[in-house]
Chains A and B, each alone.
Chain A
């Protein structure tokens, strides 16, 4: 990853203040220590980012690469998926106070602008594992990922999320995503804080997973990078 594209603390602060005022600043600032100094001056850099996406960078990273628990990686997701999720936060189908407020800052055509911006960001190539490559799988996360558990009607995760969970279209990339984030999503479906997937197709699967399985799955997928 290009470290130089990370933002500097001061710059973060100015972007945020300009765009949304100070409500989220305290949480954002605590992460700014991790940020590096960009090669380009903040001003030049800003010009390459659509105005409406600038506010997102402080938590999701300049390249949408994700900043740990501040915000998940958006690079590697499709534009249609990002757009759908922004509107799910707006309509309350996804309950997350921070992101619900942030989603309100983008409206109308700007949803597509931010979505296209992050969807165009690259992710590193990874070594892919396909369904059927391994016959005997001992790790419970990897086993669910490639073989499912049909006694409980759980299909292999990779039958929808693709080889190694790289995703495409409406199926988000799981490979290399922040583990806490992945875990929170599966828990959010269990608690009802996340909905909006067509016919509840992901929700019905998440509800069948045990706590140990969720841990194993998030470890497995987040390590695929």
Chain B
């Protein structure tokens, strides 16, 4: 298995954020190419979650993750659910599974000397992907999502290395930290096979890195891909399809989706995600070129503002957007409009 070092992570981290600024908890993951022979851990069936208080937290985490709209207006500010990007309730390899994530935090980052706990990483997804406001540290929802992630990771590892018995329970404080720490209790049968570094890069973690396209990606070609292969589900105007008040098919741009600070707004991250997971059900496989082109098309549309914006698009762009994205660049819909200048509100009320 390939090992990965967090110091290799992208430019964003090198900024050395001052304490008063919103921390960047959406920093790009170290993404690796997909290995065709990879063996993924297989978490246990949900029916084996134990009765009792600990099990209740795990179940609650599942429910918040799949139906995040129950947190609309408290922590969630758009129509998305965590499961919309982390398929199969955060259990699918190569769709940034929670079991892969859990074992990688706390993540030590050299440049700003910041140790990011698992709970902080989840908070980041609330602020950016969910265009909301993060639940306070230690809150019930963060404990629940951490407990669910831990249960997936631990049951998967125990299954892989034939460790019998139930997943050991853990205190809330410890659950929130993540599995990448020396005092994290792991059976010998596991630690004798995988060292700590290997555990932070379990095969299937993140969205696999897609090779570069042959031609530079193009919004125009991307639009054609969109019309042919995405529109049926995500709608002509990218707004998804609502059924019974919820976006069964989620919006890709506009006011009700991920904001300009979310990982998915980067063309490379979206291309990785789309190539591997879309169209849903994978009745067809997009080519590498198509995935990049359509990722560019989708992300060259206006969406909710970057929460780190302080009133000036050019400044925000210079400071936080030195990567493959369209913030501060012309819009696909109307090239005379600079993306970011007509952004939608952060954490708007639902009604």
A interface residue numbers (CB < 8 A to B): 128, 130-133, 135-136, 138, 147-148, 150, 153-155, 158-163, 166-171, 198-201, 203-205
* Contact flag A132-B232 (CB < 8 Å), given A147-B89, A159-B248: no
B283 A201 Cβ-Cβ under 8 A: yes
A163-B83 CB under 8 A given contacts A132-B65, A153-B282, A154-B281: no
B67 near A131 with CB under 8 A, answer: yes
Q: Are B248 and A168 in contact (CB under 8 A)?
A: yes
Q: Is B162 an interface residue (CB 8 A)?
A: no
When each residue 271-295 of chain B gets 1 if its CB lies under 8 Å from chain A and 0 otherwise, what string results?
0000000011111100000000000
Chain A: minimal CB distance from B41 (Å): 13
Query: What residues of A have a CB within 8 angstroms of the CB of B49 in the complex?
Result: 135-136
A-B contact pairs, 26 of them (CB 8 A): A128-B244, A130-B246, A132-B65, A132-B66, A132-B83, A133-B63, A135-B49, A136-B47, A147-B89, A150-B92, A153-B282, A160-B248, A160-B249, A161-B248, A162-B243, A163-B248, A166-B244, A167-B243, A168-B241, A170-B232, A171-B248, A198-B232, A199-B284, A200-B283, A200-B284, A204-B281
Determine whether the beta carbon of A158 is less than 8 Å from that of B248.
yes
Contact of A205 with B87 in the complex, beta carbons under 8 Å: no
Known contacts A160-B233, A160-B248, A160-B249; A168 and B46 CB within 8 A of each other: no
Q: Is B305 an interface residue (CB 8 A)?
A: no
A168 to B233, CA, bound (A): 11
Q: Is B229 at the interface (CB under 8 A from chain A)?
A: yes
State A205–B284 Cα separation when bound (angstroms). 12
Interface of B is mostly: mixed
Q: Contacts A135-B49, A162-B244 known; A199 to B283 CB distance under 8 Å?
A: yes
Say which residue of A136, A171, A205 sits within 8 Å of B281 (CB atoms).
Answer: A205
Task: Judge whether B246 and A136 touch: CB under 8 Å.
Answer: no
Picked from A131, A133, A166, A203, the residue with its CB within 8 Å of the CB of B283 is: A203
Smallest distance from the beta carbon of A83 to chain B beta carbons, Å? 15
State in angstroms the CA–CA spacing of A130 and B67 once bound together.
8
- Shortest CB-to-CB span from B198 to chain A, Å, is 24
A162 near B248 (CB under 8 angstroms)?
Answer: yes
How far does the alpha carbon of A161 sit from the alpha carbon of B243 in the complex, in Å?
8
Known A153-B282, A199-B232; judge A169-B241 contact (CB<8 A).
yes
The interface residues of chain A lying within 8 Å CB-to-CB of B91 are 150
B-chain residues with CB within 8 Å of residue A133 when the two chains form the complex = 63, 67
Contacting residue for B62 out of A130, A132, A198, A204, CB 8 A: A132
Q: How far is the CA of A96 from the CA of B241 in the complex (A)?
A: 30
Contacts of B67 in A (CB 8 A): 130-133
B232 to chain A: which residues have CB within 8 Å? 170, 198-199, 201
Verify if B242 is at the interface (C-beta below 8 Å from A): yes
Given contacts A135-B49, A162-B243, A169-B241, contact A204 B283 (CB under 8 A): yes
Within 8 A of A (CB), among B279-315: 279-284
Q: From B46, B66, B233, B280, give the contact of A131 (CB < 8 A).
A: B66
- Residues of chain B within 8 A (CB-CB) of A132 are 62-67, 81, 83, 89
**Cβ-closest chain B residue relative to A125:** B244
B59 at the interface (CB under 8 A from A): yes
Q: Are B62 and A199 in contact (CB under 8 A)?
A: no
A130: chain B residues at CB < 8 Å are 67, 246
Tell me the nearest residue of chain B to A208, going by C-beta.
Answer: B281
B112 contacts partner chain A, Cβ-Cβ < 8 Å: no
Q: Which residue of A lies closest to B249 (CB)?
A: A160
- Decide if B88 is an interface residue (CB 8 Å cutoff): yes
* Min distance, Cβ A62 to any Cβ of chain B, angstroms: 26
